[in-house]
Homo-oligomer: A and B are copies of this chain.
Amino acid sequence: MSRVRVHNFGVSLDGFGTGEGQSLEAPFGHAGGRIMSWFFPTATFQAMQGQPSGSRGLDDRLASAWGPGIGAEIMGRNKFGPQRGPWPDDGWIGWWGDEPPFHTPVVVLTHHPRPPLVVGETTFTFVDASPEQALAVAREQAGGLDVRIGGGVQTVRQFLAADLIDSLHVVVTPIVLGRGERLWDGLEGLEERFEIESVASPSGVVHLLMERRR
């Protein structure tokens, strides 16, 4: 059975997955790059930038698991772009340039459906759907492989609340953000549904590895 996975999802010590004031210039709001700064030095991220360098330790070993076995991604509209409301005719193709790193179909959750968009090897499909419905669409596109929930915060939280996530990798960075969107809100008792293991990295972050209880 194809599984539903979340990888490399960064949060602050106080549980924020993004800061306040998200915009084109600041996709993570006042958090800037701090929530994902653990990720940038990894070989996994460097490869996405076309760089052959990067760290190969624990952070990279865990980060690199984001791709293998994945057949489709689901993301919230806020991860796709900074626009809100009806889509403007602005030629926006996502944050990732001509060749997005996904290389699989991507389902974008939005209240404003529009025709599919092909960028490089990635086709974005826009659906106004519940988590269950979106997952059905993504599973059809994934060809039997796993589906990744790519974020942002609201999307991951919705899928967790709907009990659709099998595997969740959260990375806690030791900063206190103070404001933004909280990952854990509304998820009281989540630990009853997951086996949780914590691994502290020499880089200073803590990896939370959560697997659905059998």
Contacts and interface: CB of A to CB of B under 8 A. Distances in A.
Contact of A189 (B174, B176, B185): B176
Contacts of A188: 176-179
A176 B191 CA distance: 6
Interface residues of A, number: 28
Interface in A146-192: 172, 174-179, 182, 184-191
Contact of A15 (B15, B187, B196): B15
Copies of this protein in the complex: 2
B196 A204 contact: yes
Given A178-B187, A188-B177, A197 B206 contact: no
Contacts of A133: none
Given A13-B15, A15-B13, A196 B174 contact: yes
Given A174-B208, A200-B200, A204-B196, A13 B179 contact: no
A200 B200 CA distance: 6
